[in-house]
Structure 1
Amino acid sequence: MSGDGRDRAPRAEPAPAPPADMPPLGLSLARILVRLALIVVLVWIIKMTMDWVMDRSDELSGDPRAMLWIVILLLLAYGLLIAVPFVPGVEIGISLMMIEGPGVAPYVYLATVIGLAVAYLCGRYLPYDWLHQVFADLRMWRVCDLLTEIKPLSRERRLTLMRRRLPRWASKIAVDGRYLGLALLFNLPGNSVIGGGGGIAMVAGLSRLFTLRGAVLTIALAVAPVPLAVWYFGIDLLGVT
């Protein structure tokens, strides 16, 4: 309390100041547009490839060898697509199982694990300097400051920093239960709005809070239930007759 008996209002934390080397707005907008265009083109190419393969599958349905290669191409395209953030790749995997039947479920599962592992590795080895530039272009100075702070820290020191800054209950979830939390995020309905499986895996890699072995094992366990259940119980499990 102050001397006159009144409580003082808490001071708002000042907004972080822009860095001295802030990129010009025009340059930032140009780089943002180029990055978005590259993502759109990548998704479009993969989508067109899948559509072309699906069209060819009708023509070659009587040739078992050709159909095998079509399924392989579809799985490769699916694995690449699910690694892209904000793409609802799981729905594509379910569509593949509905079209090809339960026999393809183990291969859909394998493609899912590989695709999400690739997204994790992309995040894990993405240079922080490049990421800093991305957020600087977006004028997200707090994120830039955070990246500068955590860049030199080891995994253990980052976990210690999180324990200090988070409430006890939150640190139990975000630090001690981070692998379980990651698995739950992969299975969260509608997770495409927070990045989808590819985005979640990439952020997990960017955080450097997960070991490679632990992350891949978590991915393998988290995405297993649906394809393995379809493989064992049949396509009727998805409500398809």
Structure 2
Amino acid sequence: MKPFDKMRTFYAEKGGEKMDNSGNVKLLPEYRQDGGNFRFLTLNEWLKFLDVVDNFRHKIIMRLLYESGCRIGEFVQIQLKHLDFINSSIFFPADNTKTNYSRTSYVPVELMNDVKTLLRQEGRMAKRSEKIYKPDDFLILSNDYRTRHISANRLRQIFQKYIIKAGLDREYGHDKLGRRLRKFTVHSLRHSHIMHYLHVHKLAVPIVQRQVGHRTLQATMSYCQPNDEMVREAYGGVR
């Protein structure tokens, strides 16, 4: 089984779901919020998106954004010293978070292994140990000497490139200047993480709250609003 096939199976099995003959994950009930405030990718759309990301560095960036559930401003400020390879986690200092509270977020071990592979390819980690040569360096570097880290705008460009490539680019209107408003933005990865881990993987709300850094439980609970299909399926299962 190829690495990406294993990853697809991982996401499916974590949700207690099965793959159909076309390789899609069967999701029951459908949890998309039609017309809701949260614009997120369904699990199948997320897998379709990942499938077209053919750049190793870009795939790591997109997966870290999704798996950590962090905000864009938090991601660009991740330094190598914030990575815990033993526990497969990322530390977000209070000064770097929107809520001014520090937190630790966890990512899959195999994703953290890919991060180590990338750092070794870039000559920033020892080949036979987990020694980091410059712990204060940012995880994702930029050629911009003013920030030294990748910009939020560059993350948006990378995301948009693959959303279009995956055939998932959608518009829902225009702003006052006539610019197109896109359904999916790079921030949709954070929304997708929360929706998937609440509705597909069935994690407890306080656990997801800690992972993504919501200051209040109510903020995470706002992702739990059921639609008609979810209510129908829930009642159908007990009657």
- TM-score range normalised by the length of the shorter chain: under 0.3
TM-score, with structure 1 as normaliser: 0.26
Q: Name the larger-Rg structure.
A: 1
More helix by share: 1
TM-score, with structure 2 as normaliser: 0.26
More strand by share: 2
